[in-house]
């Protein structure tokens, strides 16, 4: 009886430890200029989007990539669905990473980033995407509702959008 209780207790401790590790690992994946090309970043109210954009422009100028500003927040279900889309569709994530530098710009109660966003067209809903050229100039303002089908983002629509605005025609 005691052995069975102890085995269950140890399994629960191991499961709890694994959950804590995964949660702390995700929190540690903060956006930095070095990680700006990776998906799976979080919307961070403490980030300075102007500084992040300057770093992204420097990187884009060297790499020839475009910059994709993903405007939203951790509170936004469609923002999380867009993240899930890229996690589930490796081809889309690889295409995104090969052609764009991704910056997530937080909009939340903690930080609306109004000063930064005042330089862009108004955003009607979240997530919202801005495609910038490698010099930081605005090329496209995209409502992501047009990229959805039902409760999910549509693979063909997202890929057509990414291909349309990527730096190399026909990639």
Closest C-alpha among 72, 74, 53, 79 to residue 134: 53
Look at residues 31, 63, 61, 70 and name the one whose alpha carbon lies nearest to residue 136.
61
Angstrom distance (rounded) from CA 56 to CA 116: 15
**Per-residue CA distances from 76 to 37, 71, 83, 107 (Å):** 21, 10, 11, 10
Task: Taking residues 5-33, report their average pLDDT.
Answer: 47
Q: Whole-number mean pLDDT of the chain?
A: 84
Residues, the chain: 171
In the chain, where the domains are located = 1-29, 31-165
Per-residue pLDDT tens over the stretch 68-80: 999 999 999 999 9
Q: Cα(111)–Cα(45) distance, rounded to whole angstroms?
A: 5
The residues, ordered by sequence, that sit 6+ positions from 146 with a Cβ below 8 Å of its Cβ are 157
Specify the CATH superfamily of domain 31-165. Answer: Glutaredoxin (3.40.30.10)
109-131 pLDDT, tens digit each:
999 999 999 999 999 999 999 99
Per-residue pLDDT, averaged over 57-76, amounts to 97
In whole angstroms, give the CA distance from residue 86 to residue 83: 5
């Amino acid at each position: 009886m005691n052995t069975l209780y102890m085995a269950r207790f140890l399994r629960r401790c191991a499961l709890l430890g694994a959950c804590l590790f995964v949660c702390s690992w995700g929190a540690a994946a903060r956006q930095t200029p070095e990680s700006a090309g990776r998906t799976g970043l979080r919307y961070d109210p403490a980030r300075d989007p102007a500084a992040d954009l300057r770093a992204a422009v420097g990187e884009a100028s060297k790499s020839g990539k475009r910059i994709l500003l993903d405007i939203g927040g951790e509170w936004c279900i469609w923002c999380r669905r867009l993240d899930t889309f890229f996690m589930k569709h490796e081809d889309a994530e690889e295409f995104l990473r090969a052609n764009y530098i991704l910056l997530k710009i937080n909009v939340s109660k903690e930080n609306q980033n109004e000063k930064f966003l005042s330089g862009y067209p108004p955003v009607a809903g979240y997530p919202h995407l801005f495609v910038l050229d490698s010099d930081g100039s605005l090329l496209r303002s995209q409502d992501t509702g047009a990229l959805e089908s039902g409760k999910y983002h549509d693979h063909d629509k997202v890929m057509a959008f990414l291909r349309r605005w990527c730096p190399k025609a026909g990639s």
